[in-house]
Structure 1
């Protein structure tokens, strides 16, 4: 599941800021590839925390639309990932800047979710995914393997 898109970043922070951060030389257009790279990093950070609590990938929130449902990331997760990706786009920030404060708040919120002190919520009802302690959601089978024993027939006499 994708938590945030390049368009989410533009919608939240404005096209001028995204141009400034991604096309410093020409200041002409949003360089979507640079934003996507930072979004991928932010997704990985989020998954590292969420994987302690939820089975990944998340199922998503069922958002009603005419004629059915769309499965989307929980809105709070979209905000968190956008704040982290925005921070990653900056090269140098003072700790008192708004971008840095929002990044710290986002990582604190991710940690609270990982620690079980907060949860992802779906504003339209339901759950964003199965809890990790409930086992695999897709019917997967988990296996454990014993360490391989290396004998004289494999190590060629070196011990």
Structure 2
């Protein structure tokens, strides 16, 4: 499950940039399949940071994660050399993910921690009701 959609990228960064980075020949349309793959890759990275603290998938998706996902995917749109602003947003997204993963930054959702301890025992063998 992707934490962001194509529409989120368009809203944040504009359709012109997405066309320029995904349609390398004519820059006349957005390659939605490519963007979908990049958003999926970015979401997998996010899951790697969240899996120790939150039950996944996160529904609804916190706004902070939508922005982080967009910044990670946008950076991946520049395979050779990302502009400084794109690189800085990517580095900030990574920093935020480290803080979320360590617990220093909370997402503000009431999602139980994944991997919590749950004790299970067998039924009583001896007792007043067991003869």
After TM superposition, the score normalised by the length of structure 1 is: 0.69
Looking at secondary structure, tell me which structure has more helix per residue: 2
Q: 1:85 aligns with which of 73, 77, 92?
A: 73
Unaligned runs of 5+ in 2: 121-131
The question of 1:132 aligning with 2:119 is answered no
Once superposed, what is the RMSD of the aligned Cα atoms?
A: 2.2
Contact preservation (8 Å) 1:55, 1:129: yes
The answer to which of 27-36 and 51-60 deviates more is 51-60
Residue of structure 2 in register with 1:13 after alignment: 13
Q: Are 2:102 and 1:120 aligned? A: no
Write the mapping of 1:1-159 to structure 2, written as runs, cut at 5 A.
Answer: 1-60=1-60, 73-93=61-81, 97-121=84-108, 127=109, 129-132=111-114, 134=116
Alpha-carbon separation, structure 2, partners of 1:22 and 1:129: 35
State the TM-score, normalized to the length of structure 2: 0.83
**Offset of residue 118 of structure 1:** 0.5
Task: Tell me if structure 2 keeps the 8 A contact 1:54–1:129.
Answer: yes
Contact 1:3 1:78 in 2 (8 A): yes
Runs (4+) off by over 3 Å: 133-136
